[in-house]
Amino acid sequence: GIHATAFRYLVDETRDVLARIAERGGDGESSLGEAQAPGGGAAAKRLARDVTGAQAGPNPVARLLETIVGQCEERLRSHEAVDPRDYADNRVSQRLAEEMLYTRRWAVSKLRLWLEDPTEFIIYVVDYPLRHCHRLLTKFLSQSASKAVTAEDQRAAALAVCVARGKVIAWIDEVNDMGEDPLVAAAADGAAASDIRMIVAAGAAVNGADGASPALINAAQNGYVGVIAALLEAKAAVNAPRQMLNAGRWA
Read off the pLDDT of residues 146-164 as tens digits, 9 standing for 90 and up.
999 999 999 999 999 999 9
pLDDT along the chain (251 residues), means of 10: 90 95 81 45 94 91 97 95 86 90 94 96 97 96 92 94 92 93 95 96 89 88 95 87 47 43
Residue 2: partners with Cβ closer than 8 Å, 6 or more residues away: none
With vertex at residue 113, the alpha carbon angle to CA 109 and CA 117, rounded to the nearest 5 degrees, is 155
- Supply the pTM of this predicted model: 0.81
Identity of the residue numbered 190: G
Contact 130, 103 (CB under 8 A): yes
Question: What does the pLDDT read at residue 30?
Answer: 53
How many other CB atoms are there within 10 angstroms of residue 67's CB atom? 16
